[in-house]
């Protein structure tokens, strides 16, 4: 891609409720270590802070985080607070609740509805905020229905602790269940070029119909999931990358954004150079032929 610096506005914008965000955002999970959560070595604090500040400098105004994003020495929320507070007026911080980790890093039992206020207050404390812009309820497999949990968050929204609500790790029926309780501004699900899933494809369609943001996670990681960016790239991805002088990761991000104007990307990294590349992917325009080839790869993977 061109050597000039491409900023986040190249990807266009979408609204999370009444909050305008650039369609290319930033996922904070990998700031805490070399792999997800407590699996990797603690990251360098100053470098992580520099990455966050660089993201905002590049126009990123949508940051995804969670109180359970921490490693032995690092907490994503604390890094965000240290790097960016006082926060820019246009910065939208999206967090999620539901999963629970002990201070030693082990996963605890799934939260009950009455636990969620404590989760929200912990995010408020760590981020130094008096309200949260968007809170996603991440569904845990233990719970088939999300009505009670989402209802508890809706009450916190009415109380002014939360501005907007979203859901994560869900099926299409959960979107309908949540929408019957309170407005949903975003849906977060695992979604990647080489990991087709009919239920998530249906969610993508439903979100488009209803004007809801669809926010994929692990879009770059692919099959590697929480453990890092995939190093397995199909010929179709490599061919498109060569045509644009781009990286395979940039092609994956660009393909994701091409799935609809309501699709937001939140690639995460602790590497300043990768951050610049990820943001620049928002300006990568794929041809119809390239999209057809990548879509064919997706069908083949299914």
The helix (run of H) or strand (run of E) holding residue 75 is: none
Torsion angle, CA of 60/272/187/258, rounded to 10 degrees?
A: 80
Helix axes 147-158, 116-127, angle to 10 degrees: 50
Question: Can you list the positions of beta strands (E) in the chain?
Answer: 13-16, 19-22, 26-27, 62-64, 92-97, 132-138, 162-168, 186-190, 213-217
Write the CB contacts of 47 (distance below 8 Å, at least 6 apart in sequence). 270, 272
- Catalytic site includes residue 69: yes
If one looks up domain 21-232+255-284 in CATH, what number appears? 3.20.20.100
pLDDT of 49 reads 96
Q: Which of 69, 87, 191, 218 is catalytic?
A: 69
pLDDT of 254 reads 97
Percent of the chain predicted with pLDDT > 70: 92
What is the Cα–Cα distance from 55 to 26, expressed in whole angstroms?
A: 7
Q: What is the pTM (predicted TM-score) of this model?
A: 0.93
Residue 3 has pLDDT above 50, yes or no: no
Residue 300 has pLDDT above 80, yes or no: yes
pLDDT grade for 231, boundaries at 50, 70 and 90:
low
Interval 267-295: pLDDT, tens? 999 999 999 999 999 999 999 999 999 99
- Give Cα separations from 174 to 57, 145, 169, 203, 215 (angstroms): 36, 7, 10, 10, 16
pLDDT of 222 reads 53
pLDDT of 229 reads 56
Residue 241 has pLDDT above 50, yes or no: yes
Interval 188-229: pLDDT, tens? 999 999 888 999 999 999 999 999 999 999 898 655 545 455
- Give Cα separations from 197 to 3, 204, 207 (angstroms): 36, 11, 15
Instruction: Compute the half-sphere exposure of residue 180: CA atoms within 13 Å on the CB side of its CA.
Output: 9
Interval 10-51: pLDDT, tens? 999 999 999 999 999 999 998 987 555 545 566 789 999 999
Write the CB contacts of 174 (distance below 8 Å, at least 6 apart in sequence). 139, 146, 167
């Amino acid at each position: 891609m061109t050597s000039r610096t491409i900023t986040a506005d190249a990807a266009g914008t979408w609204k999370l409720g009444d909050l305008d965000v650039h369609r290319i955002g930033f996922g904070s999970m990998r700031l805490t270590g070399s792999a997800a959560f407590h699996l990797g070595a603690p990251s360098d604090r100053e470098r992580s802070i520099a990455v966050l500040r660089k993201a905002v400098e590049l126009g990123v105004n949508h940051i995804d985080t969670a109180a359970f994003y921490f490693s032995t020495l690092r907490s994503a929320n604390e890094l965000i607070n240290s790097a960016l507070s006082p926060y820019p007026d246009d910065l939208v911080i999206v967090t999620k609740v539901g999963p629970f980790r002990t201070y030693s890093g082990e996963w605890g039992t799934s939260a009950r509805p009455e636990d969620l206020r404590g989760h929200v207050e912990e995010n408020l404390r760590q981020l130094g905020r008096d309200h949260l812009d968007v809170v996603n309820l991440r569904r845990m497999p233990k719970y088939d229905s999300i009505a009670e949990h989402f209802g508890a968050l809706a009450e916190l929204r009415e109380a002014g602790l939360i501005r907007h609500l979203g859901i994560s790790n869900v099926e299409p029926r959960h979107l309908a269940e949540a929408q019957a309780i309170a407005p949903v501004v975003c849906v977060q699900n695992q979604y990647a070029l080489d990991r087709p899933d009919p239920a998530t494809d249906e969610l993508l369609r439903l979100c488009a119909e209803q004007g809801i943001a669809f926010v994929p996670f692990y879009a770059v990681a692919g099959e590697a999931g929480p453990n890092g960016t995939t190093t397995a790239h199909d010929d179709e991805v490599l061919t498109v990358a060569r045509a644009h002088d781009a990286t395979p990761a940039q092609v994956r991000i660009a393909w994701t954004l091409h799935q609809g104007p309501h699709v937001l990307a939140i690639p995460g990294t602790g590497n300043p150079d990768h951050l610049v590349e990820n943001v620049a992917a928002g300006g990568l325009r794929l041809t119809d032929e390239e999209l057809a080839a990548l879509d064919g790869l997706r069908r083949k993977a299914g």
